[in-house]
């Protein structure tokens, strides 16, 4: 029996709540898997086999994360673990690269699952082939793979994620100080960001200083950056139009991701964010530009 059918049978026999997603695009990397299955990249997971001289372990983490070899070694006891070769994958798990599923592994396979996977409502793993996705709840993986939950990924938040999150913080600060509500555009390049909002008057230097101060206060409070996945209609009923910016969300999108920093900013946004405001670091406003005719205020800042 091939692996895909074996997985289908495994799901049926155990009564697991999971969907098999067949797709035509090759989904070897997480970005490709997201495109192929039509799901958000933040929900894609990867299942990897690590081997050492005398032992093996399977790790499951988010596709956007990387396994920290030192942490893995410390937790699993494997000395100098390395990724398995194609042949080892075949021999040990009877799978191939881009096909290893998070469940339905050979009995007694040791499995570690990164804690961040458990924060998702559902995840998409491979379903036995690079053309098959498996949509499943993280706790079903834990249960049926007997996976141990641990922190096994590298703690690095990339600069763009920090800078992008800073946009939401600066937006909240600008709203608080100037009363501006609508964002017309945003720009991020590494640790440099620019927020453009509709604004009737050129702000004073004191007001700009206050925006910077308020933004850094919000960071230092270490507020949670919450992400809600919610039906569009429901989101509009609960939050109203404040979730939208001037750039429209296409009408065919029926599910929205809503970012909320409580009492600060609420915005429809499908980008990656830090988990708390403190992870952003510190914000410094570089310069502002007020465009009188268009009534636009551009705030350029950097994250340090
Ligand atoms: Zn965002």
Domain containing residue 280: 159-303
289 alpha carbon to ligand 1 midpoint, in Å?
Answer: 23
Q: Average pLDDT of 280-297? A: 95
For residue 73, pLDDT over 90 is answered with: yes
193: domain CATH number is 3.30.980.10
Q: Which residues contact 157 (CB under 8 A, 6 or more apart)?
A: 274, 279
Whole-angstrom distance, CA of residue 261 vs CA of residue 132: 36
25 alpha carbon to ligand 1 midpoint, in Å?
Answer: 28
Q: Rounded mean pLDDT of the chain?
A: 92
Do residues 144 and 254 both lie within one domain?
no
With contact defined as beta carbons under 8 Å apart, do 195 and 170 qualify?
yes
161 alpha carbon to ligand 1 midpoint, in Å?
Answer: 9
76 alpha carbon to ligand 1 midpoint, in Å?
Answer: 35
Do residues 95 and 141 both lie within one domain?
yes
Do residues 173 and 253 both lie within one domain?
yes
Domain tally, the chain: 2
Could you tell me how far CA 243 lies from the centroid of its own chain? 19
200-259 pLDDT per residue, tens: 999 999 999 999 999 999 999 999 999 888 899 998 898 888 888 877 788 888 888 999
Confidence (pLDDT) at 245: 81
For residue 125, pLDDT over 70 is answered with: yes
Confidence (pLDDT) at 156: 64
Domain boundary among 113, 129, 150: 150
Do residues 145 and 267 both lie within one domain?
no
Do residues 243 and 185 both lie within one domain?
yes
Do residues 121 and 164 both lie within one domain?
no
Tell me which residues have their CB within 5 A of the ion that is ligand 1.
Answer: 269, 271
Alpha helices in 38-124 (DSSP H): 69-76, 86-93
163 alpha carbon to ligand 1 midpoint, in Å?
Answer: 10
78: domain CATH number is 3.90.960.10
42-60 pLDDT per residue, tens: 899 999 999 999 899 999 9
Structure tokens at 194: 């620019």
pTM exceeding 0.75: no
37 alpha carbon to ligand 1 midpoint, in Å?
Answer: 22
- Comparing C-alpha atoms, which of 169, 49, 68 is closest to residue 116? 68
Do residues 169 and 274 both lie within one domain?
yes
94 alpha carbon to ligand 1 midpoint, in Å?
Answer: 40
Q: Give percent above pLDDT 70 in the chain.
A: 99
């Amino acid at each position: 029996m091939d692996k895909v059918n074996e997985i289908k049978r495994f799901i049926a026999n155990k009564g697991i709540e999971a969907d098999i997603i067949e797709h035509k695009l090759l989904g070897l990397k997480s970005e490709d898997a997201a495109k192929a299955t039509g799901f958000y990249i933040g929900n894609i997971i990867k299942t990897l086999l690590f081997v050492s001289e005398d032992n093996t372990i399977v790790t499951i983490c988010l596709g956007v994360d990387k396994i920290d070899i030192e942490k893995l070694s410390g937790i699993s006891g494997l000395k100098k673990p390395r990724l398995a070769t194609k042949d080892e994958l075949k021999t040990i798990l009877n799978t191939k690269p881009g096909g290893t599923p998070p469940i339905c592994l050979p009995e007694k396979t040791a499995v570690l699952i990164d804690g961040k996977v458990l924060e998702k409502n559902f995840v998409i793993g491979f379903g036995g082939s690079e053309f098959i996705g498996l949509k499943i709840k993280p706790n079903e993986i834990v249960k049926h793979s007997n996976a141990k939950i641990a922190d096994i990924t590298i703690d690095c938040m990339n600069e763009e994620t920090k800078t992008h999150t800073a946009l939401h913080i600066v937006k909240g600060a600008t709203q608080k100080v100037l009363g501006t509500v609508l964002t017309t555009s945003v720009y991020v390049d590494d640790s440099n960001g620019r927020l453009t909002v509709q604004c009737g008057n050129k702000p004073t230097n004191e007001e700009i200083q206050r925006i910077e101060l308020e933004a850094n206060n919000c960071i230092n409070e270490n507020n949670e950056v919450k992400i809600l996945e919610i039906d569009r209609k429901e989101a509009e009923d609960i939050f109203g139009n404040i979730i939208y910016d001037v750039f429209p969300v296409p009408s065919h999108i029926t599910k929205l991701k809503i970012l909320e920093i409580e009492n600060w900013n609420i915005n429809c946004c499908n980008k990656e964010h830090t988990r708390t405001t403190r992870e952003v670091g510190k914000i410094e406003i570089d310069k502002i530009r007020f465009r009188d005719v268009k009534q636009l205020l551009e705030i350029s800042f950097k994250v340090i």
